Amino acid sequence: MQRARVPVAAATALLLAGLLSSCWLATDPSPEQSPTTELTSSPTPTEQEVEDATASAEPTEAAPTPPAEEDLPGTPLDGYPEAGTSLLIVGVSSEEILNLRLGPGIEFDSIARLAPDTPLTATGRNRDLGGSAGIWFQVRAGEDVGWVISRYVAEPGASRDVTDTFDPAPTGESRGALIDAVVAAWDRTGTAEAIVVYGPVVVQENLQARVDVLVPGDDSVRGARLFVVAAQAGTTFTVTRVTATQLCARGAAGTGDCA
Q: Would you place residue 22 in the very low, low, confident or very high pLDDT band (cuts 50, 70, 90)? A: very low
What is the rounded average pLDDT of the residues 59-82? Answer: 83
Q: Which candidate, 29, 42, 12, 28, places its Cα nearest to that of 192? A: 12
- pLDDT computed for residue 217 by the predictor: 82
Q: Determine the Cα–Cα distance for residues 71 and 185; give it in Å rounded to an integer.
A: 48
What is the rounded average pLDDT of the residues 61-84? Answer: 86
Q: What phi and psi, each to the nearest 5 degrees, are found at residue 202?
A: -95, 120
Say which amino acid occupies 90: V
In a domain, 199, yes or no: no
* Better pLDDT: 29 or 117: 117
In a domain, 188, yes or no: no
Question: Domain residues for 139?
Answer: 35-153
- pLDDT tens for 142-154 read 999 999 999 999 9
- pLDDT tens for 188-236 read 888 899 999 999 999 988 999 999 999 988 889 999 999 999 999 999 9
In a domain, 85, yes or no: yes
In a domain, 106, yes or no: yes
Distance between first and last Cα of the chain? 34
> How many domains are contained in the chain?
1
In a domain, 98, yes or no: yes
Q: Would you place residue 16 in the very low, low, confident or very high pLDDT band (cuts 50, 70, 90)? A: very low
In a domain, 232, yes or no: no
Is residue 36 pLDDT above 80, yes or no?
Answer: no
In a domain, 53, yes or no: yes
Q: Would you place residue 177 in the very low, low, confident or very high pLDDT band (cuts 50, 70, 90)? A: very high
In a domain, 121, yes or no: yes
Is residue 31 pLDDT above 80, yes or no?
Answer: no
- pLDDT tens for 228-250 read 999 999 999 999 999 999 999 99
| 7-11, 120-124, 144-148, range with the lowest pLDDT | 7-11
